[in-house]
Structure 1
Amino acid sequence: MNRTDYQRRVITSLSWLKTQVEYHNSLSLTDINHGAEDFYCGLLNLVYGYSLKNINIIDQNAAAIDLGDEQNKIAIQVTSTSALAKTKYTVEKFIEKGLYKKFDRLLILNIVKKSNHEAPTIGGSEYNLDTREDILDVGDLIKKITDDPDLKKLKAIVDFLDAELSLPAQKSLPNEVLTILGIIEHISDESHEDAGSGYLEEPIPEEKIYKRFADHADFLVDTYNDGYIEYGAVLEAVKKESDFGQVKLRRAASYLKKYSDSVLTKCGGDPKAALHQIIADFGALLGNNGYTFDEGAAEFYVIEQLVKCNIFPYKEVSVA
């Protein structure tokens, strides 16, 4: 199914770039248009087998075109404007500069969306541009690329797109990441009825695990160590790369303290039974809210919070 994956990635990448151009232009930020010239130069060379070069770098006077292939005698203007007036101006300059003597064909690539001009051709006796065949947009490129039967060529195009574009992270994250994100998102919700009512004890993990839960210390330590191998890096990445911030993480810890203490009480002080109950509760919670669920990730997150004393908070009574 490599072909299907490549086609999907082409559609995603070019559609994303098209949207970026639209947003930038709507704010009069046109620098992205200049960068697009070099990008589409490389892409069109791969798609059509051209040998295009950026004419604006070679010849500052070539006002009508941005890219040129002298070998195949193809000239291309890259634009984000689809107005008829712009098309007429381009063709007029192409003729005025005598570029039709050097290039047999002028193409206009609209990097947003082209317009369907009523006139079938634009130009004069020296040169005519076919408005149906010689004006392309991103949709035409996507169709051309995804319909190509050459799998190696399709892969080369995907590799080019990956190298040239920095797309934002996709939402289709691994289940273990979604599980941890979902748990943190829920328990850090400031509108939650228990928000802000947690404990404030300083963590004393050694005393908790090896004294308070001495009968279960081996189980807790082994579970943490085993989970860290699989999920330690995942949890750290979630904390660093998500947009939760320290406020939400502290809020999550606060909620966990009160919630886990009530579960521990219901389980007669048995941490093993309480942990299983907490994980089961999270599984039901995330499932009901449309999240995927990875039990191992949830277990590690809970154990990690236990080590930090956010699960089953240590409550030592001081005697005056």
Structure 2
Amino acid sequence: MNRIDYQKKIISALTWLKSQVEIHNSLSLTDINHAAEDFYCGLLNLVYGYSLKNINIIDQNAAAIDLGDEQKKIAIQVTSTSALAKTKYTVEKFIEKELYKKFDRLLILNIVKKTNHEAATIGGAEYSLDTKADIIDVDDLIKKITSDPDLQKLKSIVDFLDAELSLPTQKSLPNEVLTILGIIEFISDEGHEEAGNGYLEEPIPEDKIYRRFADHADFLVDMYNDGYIEYGAVLEAVKKESDFGQVKLRRAANYLKRYSDDVLTKFGGDPKDALSQIITDFSALLGNNGYAFDEGAAEFYVIEQLVKCNIFPYKEVPLA
């Protein structure tokens, strides 16, 4: 669908630019901030129907204000700094230069990420800025754009982004890699923060495979060995090359413990049926969120996590 393609391109382009600004600023290379003023001037005009112009070029007296639409009386500062001190400075200069007589509203666009200030408003009797409504960032802009029902507007924004930005060529990843990345991404979401409560921390794969699941040991071992030949190197590459830190991987493992134990209980302790259900759940999860799915890769990831005791974990035995 064209709409989905447009949305994906917009998200990809604006998040890429956001990351470029972050990297450049971390290296004290701020030229990109000045270039961003003209870029966002054009983008905001498309998104909101403004007629913004770069005020810094027209009026050097407009301190701390970058863009202005004199018809709609909108003034915008484009910044990569989210500190409260910078926000206060901007509002103070807006008041000091009596720009509130020319513009009814001041907006601050943070081209990296905004900070939620505790103060509801900043300013004085002459002008007051609403810190919730009048400060936006790239994430807010993306949500605004991608939720717009006007398909033609989305296309015009994509055309603008294509003309303005030279995005790196994206290499498509094999389905097996996307499958493992997708699984880890979803199960390591910050909403799942169970830190292994009620489960042993150290894995004991020998006890699990040959004692706890003795009746299914041959099946599980063969499943692991066959999967390792096909997907072992893929999984190791994903772990090494992806940007998943140890916290995210640990969170994923902890979520798997609780989730898989619930599934195992549901199937009366039968690991074969429980594993099949887990893989089915992952397939539906990734499919519903637009990810490619390779059943073999998902199967191997699950069995590898079983060997590590993140799938079907041992429960602690309470002391008498």
**What TM-score does the superposition give when structure 1 sets the normalisation length?**
0.55
Matching residue of 1:165: 165
Matching residue of 1:207: none
Counterpart of 2:13, as a letter, is S
Counterpart of 2:43, as a letter, is L
Matching residue of 2:56: 56
Matching residue of 2:90: 90
TM superposition shift of 1:128: 0.2
TM superposition shift of 1:172: 1.5
The separation in 1 between residues aligned to 2:91 and 2:232, in whole angstroms, is 59
TM superposition shift of 1:151: 0.2
The separation in 1 between residues aligned to 2:53 and 2:158, in whole angstroms, is 21
Matching residue of 1:153: 153
The separation in 1 between residues aligned to 2:231 and 2:158, in whole angstroms, is 35
Unpaired stretches in structure 2, ≥5 consecutive residues: 176-228, 235-320
Q: Residues 146, 131 of structure 1: CA spacing in aligned structure 2 closer, same or farther, 3 A cutoff? A: same
Counterpart of 1:76, as a letter, is I
The separation in 2 between residues aligned to 1:287 and 1:80, in whole angstroms, is 42
User: Over residues 229-262 of structure 1, what are the superposed CA-to-partner deviations in whole Å (9 max), with x where a residue is unaligned?
Assistant: xxxxxxxxxxxxxxxxxxxxxxxxxxxxxxxxxx
Counterpart of 1:158, as a letter, is V
The separation in 1 between residues aligned to 2:231 and 2:121, in whole angstroms, is 58
Matching residue of 1:245: none
TM superposition shift of 1:64: 2.2
TM superposition shift of 1:68: 0.2
The correspondence of residues 77-226 of structure 1 with structure 2, limited to 5 A, is 77-172=77-172
The separation in 2 between residues aligned to 1:172 and 1:111, in whole angstroms, is 28
The separation in 1 between residues aligned to 2:6 and 2:232, in whole angstroms, is 34
3-state SS of the aligned residue for 2:68?
strand
User: Over residues 179-226 of structure 1, what are the superposed CA-to-partner deviations in whole Å (9 max), with x where a residue is unaligned?
Assistant: xxxxxxxxxxxxxxxxxxxxxxxxxxxxxxxxxxxxxxxxxxxxxxxx
Q: Residues 98, 152 of structure 1: CA spacing in aligned structure 2 closer, same or farther, 3 A cutoff? A: same
Matching residue of 1:234: none
Q: Residues 18, 83 of structure 1: CA spacing in aligned structure 2 closer, same or farther, 3 A cutoff? A: same
CA RMSD between the two structures:
2.0
TM superposition shift of 1:61: 1.4
The separation in 1 between residues aligned to 2:16 and 2:136, in whole angstroms, is 18
3-state SS of the aligned residue for 1:29?
coil
3-state SS of the aligned residue for 1:171?
coil
Please identify the structure whose Cα radius of gyration is greater: 1
Matching residue of 1:26: 26
The correspondence of residues 238-277 of structure 1 with structure 2, limited to 5 A, is none
The separation in 2 between residues aligned to 1:103 and 1:8, in whole angstroms, is 35
The separation in 1 between residues aligned to 2:27 and 2:68, in whole angstroms, is 29
Counterpart of 2:92, as a letter, is E
TM superposition shift of 1:287: 8.9
Matching residue of 1:226: none
The separation in 2 between residues aligned to 1:286 and 1:37, in whole angstroms, is 49
The separation in 2 between residues aligned to 1:14 and 1:48, in whole angstroms, is 16
Matching residue of 1:317: none
The separation in 2 between residues aligned to 1:173 and 1:84, in whole angstroms, is 41
The separation in 2 between residues aligned to 1:64 and 1:32, in whole angstroms, is 17
Q: Residues 174, 117 of structure 1: CA spacing in aligned structure 2 closer, same or farther, 3 A cutoff? A: closer
The separation in 2 between residues aligned to 1:97 and 1:27, in whole angstroms, is 32
Q: Residues 164, 286 of structure 1: CA spacing in aligned structure 2 closer, same or farther, 3 A cutoff? A: farther
TM superposition shift of 1:289: 6.1
Aligned residues: 182
- Does 1:7 pair with 2:7? yes
- Does 1:42 pair with 2:61? no
The separation in 2 between residues aligned to 1:53 and 1:6, in whole angstroms, is 26
3-state SS of the aligned residue for 2:107?
strand
The separation in 2 between residues aligned to 1:136 and 1:288, in whole angstroms, is 44
- Does 1:72 pair with 2:58? no
Counterpart of 2:66, as a letter, is D
Counterpart of 2:148, as a letter, is D
The separation in 2 between residues aligned to 1:286 and 1:32, in whole angstroms, is 45
Q: Residues 126, 5 of structure 1: CA spacing in aligned structure 2 closer, same or farther, 3 A cutoff? A: same
TM superposition shift of 1:288: 8.5
The separation in 2 between residues aligned to 1:16 and 1:88, in whole angstroms, is 29
TM superposition shift of 1:60: 1.0
Counterpart of 2:15, as a letter, is S
